Structure 1
Amino acid sequence: MVLLKTPKIPQACMVDNHVISITNIRNGESICYSLAFIKGHIHTKNQNICHFNENLEGKLVLHHLNPNDSLMSVSDWVILGTEFKCLINLHRGDNDLILEYCGTKLKWSIGYCPRRTVFRVMPIYIICKGHNGEFQAPNGEENTIQSACRRIAVGCKLIQCLTAEKLDESGFGRKTFQLENDLNTQAAECTVFHSQLPVEQARRLSPEELWEHLGRELMMSPLGNNNRKFVAFLSCTRYIPNGKKPGTYEEILSLMEGHVALGGGGLAIFGTGCLHTWPRCVEEVVPRFLNVTPVDTQCLMDDSCFRGTYGGCFSTTLGSVCHELGHTFDLGHTEGSIMGRGFDNLNLVFTVHTKNDNEKLDKEINKRVSSSASKASAHHATVSFTKVLNVSYRAPSPIRKPINKFNRTPDSPKRKLSFTDLSIRSSQESIASDTVDESQTISELSEDLTYWTKSCATILAFHRKTLSSSAGVCVVELRDSSGLVVTTWQPQRCSSFQLPPGSIGRQVTSLVAEDSVGNFVKQTLSA
């Protein structure tokens, strides 16, 4: 009789053998958005061997505690090599976290406190008249209105978090926009909007016509507000295959109805042809990015930048939303970066897989490209908040920008709709900057291939915090809620004045300014 040895089950290290380090967010740091991104490394001490997992390719367990130290949630996250990345939904106030691996624990605290501001972004799910609200999806995938709203809410939180992380990498701190639910806890994380536009007509309209019609309808509705931008998704997008496998992106678009991906002014709007690839909750984010299920182009749209997988579709379309939302914050096109064609690799931001693992990544196919863009300088006769810093671009052939023909649309005469040309261009057609050396980006520091250029990061970081007057700004005051002057400046009749970084403390609620001819403005401020 042969005795079989029972395999030895590895046990956790008996001593504190590891060091867990978080590299992107400080212990006790407070952020203004609810989805926190945590990344770091796990190392063994003194080059010891981990008896539980010699390759450190396991799972990190993240415990989330409420203020009473009761356990709210437990999640586990992949460790690859020594690296880990986590996402956690925060509640308002302080959030106590415990990261655990192989008997070693690290306690960490992150606060969530939305900024005091009236400016916000509202996620919208648009259902046209006569449509049931169900988005196109493969068999077995939930495609209800509720499912769409959950996916959109998670996607918008990811973009909000991404904006903060990438601005922090650029040296501006974790600044980002506020979502509607951040400022109004009674508001839905994604609002359903029933349009009066018949679904048959919507599917016949061009992307530009959809943007203009639905933008006007939103602004004429009770939701319309100059302090609110919309990121909207159209439920009736439809892919109609013709029996042939499309060979180019243009062929894919020719098979689409109700597809749109445009942003500008106060509205960024998108089709839902790939919404089925998006996660419904935070726990699904990483699995959805890593989903290598092939897209069946006989049934569904493939918007994956030629990667051909569900994960590629999620990464590219989420990046496209980030890109078009950037246009609503007055960002122009750049060579590379999120505002070029550098938005396809968002999966690398949130997963520990490297760029070499990016499924079917082809350096030529996935090269970052952009179309030329130009933006005229805005001149104001009165003191006003300007949306653009003094950064301009020189382009060989400006993109076409339609003139707004309607009142109260999200666009304005000074902010035209931006079109994104996703065709590949030669390196000789790069955009030259008049005032910023865009070649000096942080792309070299960004292993995830996703970044803002210096000018884009600067515009986002100081959005709505620059004053200008052709007559010359004479006095600027920051006041608290009682009207007491906290800080004041007396510029020497300069045509523009930028608030110094960090000048808006928590006690500041408003800004007052006057120019040399008596034009006066009082504006509620965001911190």
Structure 2
Amino acid sequence: MTFLKDFRRRSKASLQSLSLELPFQRNGDNSASKGSSTPDSSSRSSRITPPSSISAEASSSLLPVSTNSNTSSAHLSPPQRPVPITSQSTRSSAATSVSANGCPRVAAPTSPYAPKVVSISDNSWVHQKVLLIYGQIGNPNQISVDGTLSVIHNHESFSSITWPVCDSHFKALLHLTPGPNKLRLDFASSKVPNPTLHSSWISINYLPLANMPPLQLAIILGKDSDGTVDANPDNQTDLSTAISKFRMAAYLWQAFTGEQMFRNNFGRRCFRLEEEWQPGTISSRDAMLGQMRNEAKVHVIRCDKTVSELRRIAGAQQGCSAENDNELFHTAMDAVTRYFDLQPGQNRYVSALFLDTHVGTTAQVATNHSAPGSSAGDVKLAIFGSQAIRSYPSCLEEVVPAFTDCARSDAPMFPNDGQEYGSNWEVLNYGIGGHLHQVGHMLGCSHGEDGIMTPDYSLLNRTFITRETYSTRTKSPGLRPCLPTDECSWHRLDTLRFRFHPCFRLPSDVPAVSGDDIQAWPVDNGKVLITCASGIAFIEIYSGDDEVCKSFMDYVNGDSGNCGIPKQIMLTESKLRERISEPKKAKGLRLKIFSGSLSTLAIEDICQVKSKQFIVKLPNGQAGYRGMSSPRPGSAGALAEELILDCASTQTKLLTTVKIYHDAFITALEFCYEDSTSQVFGKRTGLQSAECDATDIRRGEALIGFLIKSGPSSVSGIEILTSLGRKTGVLGSAVGESSHTLIPPRGYGIAGISGSVDAHIETLSLIITR
């Protein structure tokens, strides 16, 4: 019996040791797993090396592939919301993995040919579906090789795409899905050994933004159009192809603009496109596989004119006559407004393409004269012709072939710059770049010194390729390699507008300030103070008869939002002239000032602002200064009126009450004092009146400004603002087309008010003093 007990103890010990040596045997035993507190090796391995969702067919032999077939769904954690990928990108020839005995394997040495992305850092956040990246193979100063770069997505629904590498430089467009995206970049070249060992990883987080207005795409047809682009029978473009090409052009606009905003230190901001769930076209394999995707929606709109009428309008505009210069634009505006059934106050941003443009006679006219972009009104609209759409890529795989197609175009373009866009890739630049130029106008940009808002869009191809082909426009063999410094761009002033545009807002941005009109205050010693509640973003400086801004002052420091821009600045003429080139320093200076909400104030002559007409002598001998703001001017019959408040020059006068006289609009303001006297600005017509305590004398409260509500031609309501932060509410009518705030700059107080008066108060501004 003693022998049997000893044998039993030894058998039990040997079984325990065997269990410790073979932990994977417990993985399939639920009862043993429940009774053990020691984690199994498969769970340890999964925490060290996350499993890849790339299929084995799309992966290289170096990727770790799980061979454990015993893992059941009971061991998997429940699904969770996507979280940012925290693993760092790895530029190595093999992924880190764990051996069977639980010890980490030694990673293979980093390949000198592993792709390196330099335009965006690993684990960055973006807000666009198609992302442009630029990178290098090794150090281009030491290694110069050509080859191909394959982009493999961790989501199996999107196929890998190959991009060319030229002189160790590459550019690629990445298709992203919402949430974390981990992409593998493989470099291959016949001149480099071991072509399967040169890989790297990059993680990108894509967060779509649904809280900002989208850019909507539309194709406009004549009411009798057959939906085909005018072309040779052997090169016909039907409506479905035109839709996919237009959609791809919009994604290229996004990729280009997002990268330009980043280069200007504004983050990965970009306008968003309206999307819908539909058959995918962004990949050439989508139609073959019947793949459904959430992609940009293209509305098809028929206008009320026939194809011949549209061509007649475009042909008539070839002479740029003033009578019909905008007829085609108004036709598009009417069609878009009717299609979307827009109500007053509903803002829309629409980029439209006329599909029935006649190639050969009105091609350049329909785009340069009759297809402008407009940022005015409720509908912001940009239109363009379809004469170049046959050269557009319809999917990502066609981007590089389209931008390198040097075949002679059967319909060359001759825009206003007087140069010929003769090859297919140059026509493509003209089409996509010219339409983006009009989108810039729609977003508020004006013609600039360089960039997309000039004919520089002829270099748009360099943004997406690394090797340029022969150019018929310049009669040159093309640039090699095309580096970021060689590309066209958005001008800095354009990106400043985009930074504060509603279509480019981010959730982290400070909400826009209402009633934030910019005000200019000419003060002593020739200085001009500029104030604005939402901050001053930038100032455009024009010299003489300049129509294009060549000098500007930028107050935006990175992407810190409206809180990072000043609410008050001081200007002097000498400082402004320092920014003007020498031949024009003696000419007059015009300013256009932009706020953090893109409201503007134009100063036609900085010297006039400093003149005596803006200086008022107060009864106590002090100097007062009339302010400038941006409400609409008064009517021709309005009379100028001015009121100096007694409390500004006499300390014993205490302002207690303000009475507002109004009907539909404000007719008069009455300022009442503690000694029962009063002063009236405007015409006290005896209609409805509202009375408000302007100050609390016991608490030291003082009047510091007004919030003005303006109607079509007059002031409709006024709100009084006090030094203790109290707001009286709008007295009169709170409904107005616009609002602006009148508050003196720091160090100054209200000395009086001035403006224009007819039957009602039409304009109103402050007089300030120290």
Give the TM-score category using the shorter length: 0.5 to 0.7
- Structure 2 vs 1, CA of residues 257 and 111 (structure 1 numbering), >3 Å: closer, same or farther? closer
The residue correspondences of 1:78-227 to structure 2 (distance < 5 A) are 78-101=164-187, 102=195, 103-181=197-275, 189-205=297-313, 206=317, 208-222=326-340, 224=342, 226-227=346-347
Paired position in structure 2 for 1:9? none
Moved more, 147-156 or 206-215: 206-215
Counterparts in 2 of 1:448 and 1:358: CA distance versus 1, 3 Å: farther
Partner of residue 385 from structure 2, selected from 271, 292, 295: 271
CA distance in 1, matches of 2:312, 2:123: 52
Task: Say yes or no: does 1:290 pair with 2:384.
Answer: no
Equivalent position to 2:371, from 256, 261, 279: 261
One-letter amino acid of the structure 2 residue matched with residue 39 of structure 1: Y
Distance apart, 1:326 and its partner CA: 0.5
* TM superposition score normalised by structure 1: 0.64
Q: 2:335 corresponds to which letter in structure 1?
A: E
Which residue of 455, 458, 461 corresponds with 2:496?
A: 458
Contact persistence 1:236–1:272 (CA under 8 A): yes
Distance 2:392 2:299 in 1: 17
Alignment size in residue pairs: 382
Q: Using a 3 Å threshold, how does the CA distance of structure 1 residues 24 and 470 change in structure 2: closer, same or farther?
A: closer
Contact residue 346 and residue 448 of structure 1 kept, 8 A? no
Q: Which amino acid aligns with 1:41?
A: Q
The 5 Å alignment of 1:468-479 reads: 469=515
The reply to whether residue 65 of structure 1 matches residue 154 of structure 2 is yes
| Contact 1:37 1:88 survives alignment (8 Å) | yes
User: After alignment, is 164-173 or 448-457 more displaced?
Assistant: 448-457
Change (3 A) 1:294 1:44: same
SS in 2 for 1:36: strand
CA distance in 1, matches of 2:359, 2:516: 51
Superposed, 1:311-322 pairs within 5 Å as 311-322=425-436
Deviation at 1:252?
6.4
Which letter does structure 1 place at the counterpart of 2:269?
A: K
Take 1:37 and 1:202, find their aligned partners in 2: how far apart are those partners?
A: 37
124-133 vs 105-114, greater mean Cα deviation: 105-114
Contact 2:388–2:427 (Cα < 8 Å) also in 1? yes
Task: Report if the CA contact (8 A) 1:231-1:325 is conserved.
Answer: yes
> Which residue identity lines up with residue 27 of structure 1 in the other structure?
D
1:267–1:21 distance in 2 versus 1, CA, 3 Å: same
Which of 333, 358, 382 is residue 447 of structure 2 equivalent to?
A: 333
In structure 2, the CA distance between the partners of 1:257 and 1:312, relative to structure 1 (3 Å rule), is: closer
Q: CA deviation at 1:167?
A: 1.4
- State the one-letter code of the partner of 2:114: V
1:236, CA displacement in angstroms?
0.9
What is the match of residue 3 of structure 1?
Answer: none
The separation in 1 between residues aligned to 2:118 and 2:294, in whole angstroms, is 34
Deviations 1:400-419 (A, max 9, x none): xxxxxxxxxxxxxxxxxxxx
> Is the 8 Å Cα contact of residues 274 and 317 (structure 1) preserved in structure 2?
yes
Alignment partner for residue 359 of structure 1, among 444, 463, 471?
471
Taking a change above 3 Å as real, the CA distance of residues 65 and 223 of structure 1, as seen in their structure-2 partners, is: farther
Which structure ranks higher in relative contact order (CA pairs < 8 Å, sequence separation ≥ 6)? 1
- TM-superposed deviation, 1:200: 2.2
Instruction: Write out per-residue CA displacement over residues 47-93 of structure 1, whole angstroms, 9 at most, x where no aligned residue.
Output: 6x8xxxxx511111111121xxx473111111100100111222222
Indicate how the Cα distance of structure 1 residues 452 and 45 shifts in structure 2: closer, same or farther if over 3 A, else same: closer
**Letter of the aligned partner of 1:325 in structure 2?**
V
TM-fit CA distance, 1:138: 3.7
Q: Which amino acid aligns with 1:212?
A: H
Separation (CA, whole Å) in 2 of partners of 1:344 and 1:181: 29
Task: Report if aligned partners of 1:19, 1:44 keep a CA contact under 8 Å in 2.
Answer: no
Paired residues of 1:238 and 1:257 also in contact (CA < 8 A): no
Q: Distance in 1 between matches of 2:516 and 2:261?
A: 31
How far apart in 2 are the matches of 1:182 and 1:23?
33
**1:441-480 Cα shifts (integer Å, max 9, x gaps):** xxxx95234122222211111114754637889xxxxxxx
Q: Deviations over 1:109-157 (max 9, x none)?
A: 1122122424111111111100111012344335111101000000011
Q: Contact 1:307/1:360 (CA < 8 Å) preserved in 2?
A: yes
CA distance in 1, matches of 2:368, 2:430: 19
Q: Do the aligned partners of residues 446 and 38 (structure 1) sit closer, same or farther apart at CA in structure 2, a change above 3 Å counting? A: closer
State percent identity of aligned pairs. Answer: 23
Q: Secondary structure at the match of 2:497?
A: helix
Contact 1:469 1:495 in 2 (8 A): no
Task: Report the alpha carbon displacement of residue 38 of structure 1 after superposing the two structures with TM.
Answer: 1.4
Structure 1 residue aligned with 2:53: none
Return the offset for 1:327. Answer: 0.6
CA contact 1:234–1:271 (8 Å) conserved in 2: yes
Q: Distance in 2 between matches of 1:287 and 1:162?
A: 18
Distance 1:223 1:63, change over 3 A: farther
Larger Rg: 2
Question: Which residue number corresponds to residue 234 of structure 1?
Answer: 354
Q: Distance in 2 between matches of 1:167 and 1:71?
A: 29
2:444 is aligned with what amino acid?
D
* Structure with a larger share of its residues in helix: 2
Distance 1:362 1:91, change over 3 A: same
- Partners of 2:421 and 2:518 in 1: CA distance: 53
Amino acid in the other structure paired with 1:59 = T
Q: State how far apart, in whole Å, the 2-side matches of 1:187 and 1:227 are.
A: 22
Q: Secondary structure at the match of 1:469?
A: coil
> Does 2:394 correspond to 1:348?
no
* 1:202–1:210 Cα contact (<8 Å) kept: yes
Q: 1:358: how far off? A: 5.6
* Distance (whole Å) between structure 2 residues aligned to residue 224 and residue 350 of structure 1: 37
TM-score (normalizing by structure 2):
0.45
Native 8 Å contact 1:342 1:449 kept in 2: no
Report the 3-state secondary structure (helix = DSSP H, G, I; strand = E; otherwise coil) of the residue aligned with 1:296: strand
Superposition RMSD on alpha carbons, in Å? 3.8
Aligned equivalents of 1:65, 1:100: Cα separation in 2: 13
Residues 330-360 of structure 1: CA deviation (Å, up to 9, x unaligned): 1111122111221111101110025xx5623
Measure, in 1, the Cα distance between the counterparts of 2:131 and 2:296. Answer: 20
